[in-house]
Structure 1
């Protein structure tokens, strides 16, 4: 692990994301700093990468520490990769992901017969590390799978209860946290981040 970075701001107010990120960084002996006292910027980017950089840049400028931000979402090919960067917004102001999952199912039933080939989906994670000197790095992770209705499992967060990764029969929502953290899109992006930190 690099001696250059021992504290990183986690630029998110999403409790599920923060828990996952903290667990991954703790393994590398990196202390995390909460962003709870700062507002997150409006996500005006048109891609996961743009939104991730917006968030990490904002956090780094406000705290003068390196900051990491994750912008991630679910993409459903048969829905032209919706909800995509709008994954969180589909849950509404109350962050009701049951509402969002129902919306996906309704939209899918309008355009397909819900066979497994029609239910393909993938999660994307764009993880950015922004430094106080305004340099940054971006690391991407992706995991493919299919959607399962009705939702299953109370673990995880967001769309986890409807996503079954390739090679598995359980949804992310049914998997234990420590197992999901090894295979998820976020874990893949973090592996790239950790490889980078070891080099600097």
Structure 2
């Protein structure tokens, strides 16, 4: 039986990654537009990834009445005290400007030795059901930060992030490999486990 899930995000890069990863769980992801949801902006004003992820999923579920999945993710850099965190997409002040965000990050860590430029990508995925139930899953991937972008794959901070155990950035690594080891993949795997544990029928 086909499992139709509405993706709360309007970020096409995220939708493609979620689609690629959720295939193994037998889920079919449709966009907000495909679900007939008007183009509305959901203000991400939470202080945690969990708060933002839930808000996005819940608000879209209320509009469409279908199971909805939302992701909130970002980069935590240790030498910056966990910044940019929930402000990752608007770190430079301009929401979604990857180049400006990367330039600001580089300017803040340029004097930090490579071995101390550690951090992690975090993804929190929330699935909200029409009856109000929810499942929350968190995934992380540790790594180091570069001072120059490497590669053109992915989006956001991918060209600056080298995952632990690899010698290439997420911007250069094979997308199939990224979709197996990324924070989003880990969160979706955790979501799948929780779905099975709850014996949820989609």
TM-score, length basis structure 2: 0.91
Task: State the Cα deviation string for residues 156-185 of structure 1 (Å, max 9, x = none).
Answer: 111000000111000000012111000000
Q: Does 1:115 align with 2:116?
A: no
Is the CA contact 1:12–1:40 (under 8 Å) kept in the aligned structure 2? no
CA contact (8 A) 1:40 1:58 kept: no
Q: Deviations over 1:80-137 (max 9, x none)?
A: 111100001125446221111110111123xxx3212221111111110001111111
8 Å contact from structure 2 (residues 90, 97) kept in 1 = no
* Aligned residue in 2 for 1:82: 83
| CA distance 1:87–1:28, change in 2 (3 Å) | same
Separation in structure 1 between the aligned mates of residue 172 and residue 28 of structure 2, nearest angstrom: 29
Q: 1:24-63 residue pairs with structure 2 within 5 A?
A: 24-36=21-33, 37-63=38-64
Unaligned runs of 5+ in 2: none
The aligned counterpart of 2:67 is: 66
Q: How far did residue 196 of structure 1 move?
A: 2.3
Deviations 1:40-77 (A, max 9, x none): 41011100000000000011111100101000000111
Looking at structure 2, the residues matched to 137 and 119 of structure 1 have their Cα atoms a distance apart, in angstroms, of: 33
Distance in 2 (CA, whole Å) between partners of 1:43 and 1:150 is 29
Q: Distance in 1 between matches of 2:94 and 2:7?
A: 22
2:135–2:194 CA contact under 8 A, matched in 1: no
Aligned to 1:134: 132
Question: What is the CA–CA distance in structure 2 between the aligned matches of 1:92 and 1:100, rounded to whole Å?
Answer: 8
Deviating 4+ runs (over 4 angstroms): none
Instruction: Report the Cα offset of residue 31 of structure 1.
Output: 1.9
| Secondary structure of 1:133 counterpart | coil
Matches of 2:94 and 2:146, distance apart in 1: 25
Alignment of 1:4-19 (within 5 A): 6-19=3-16
1:189 to 187, 190, 201: 187
The Cα RMSD (Å) is 1.5
Q: Number of matched residues?
A: 194
In structure 1, stretches of 5+ residues that fail to align are: none
